[in-house]
Each structure stands twice: as C-alpha cells, then as structure tokens.
Amino acid sequence: MPPSEKAAGALRTIGELAQEIGRPQHILRYWETRFPQLRPLTRAGNRRYYRPDDVALVRRIHHLLADEGYTIRGVQKLLADEKAASRRAPRNSAQAFTAIRDALIKALDEDGG
C-alpha cells in the first residue's frame, strides 16, 4: 500500500516518509541529529517509525528548507522560538480569558475609565 493510502494516524517508515517528501533517507536521519523535536520510534535493527506528529514536523522542516529558503540553523531557531513562545502562552482558555480581562482592567485604569 503506498504511503498516501495509509490511514492518517498510521506510523510511517523512513522509506515511506523519504519518498513522500522527495528526499533521501539519510537526510531524514541527518535532520534527527539537528532537530531534537524529531524523535521517531526506533525498533529492532534501528528501524525508524514516524508518528503523525513526526510526519507533520518533517513536512514542515522540508517546506521551510525547500520552499521558504530557510537554512538548517534558521529552522532550528524558528522551532526553538516557537517552543519558548508556547511555554509563555496561557495553558488553557480560562487562563487566557483571565489574562485578557486583567489587561483590559489595567488599560481602563490607566485611561482613567
């Protein structure tokens, strides 16, 4: 069954993923050394199986490098900055609404309202 016919949540082998993005397998192995976020499952014989999140990350890395013109270092920085921003973001919608409410109250107080 070709990779495109697999279920969305199915694991992909390195060969299937490499063929899907049009890059050789050794490039994916290299990316694993450069992007700590990319950690496929490894089984006996060091066979790699990419989870859906890994597949999405590989597609994104490939897009940034091939289509957007980023360098490896640029993609590393972008991913690190996004991770840092997500740590600063409120954890749930209740916290987000509280933060917005507090900011509005502060703005109104400063405005004299």
pLDDT of 1 over the 50 cut: no
> Mean pLDDT throughout 75-100?
82
Q: Which residues pair with 47 in a beta bridge?
A: 43
**Would you state the structure tokens that stand for residue 69, as one six-digit string?**
């013109």
Mean pLDDT of the chain: 89
Query: Can you give the pLDDT at residue 84?
Result: 85
DSSP class per residue in 50-86: E-HHHHHHHHHHHHHHHTS---HHHHHHHHHHHHHHH
Spatial CA neighbour of 55 closest among 76, 40, 71: 40
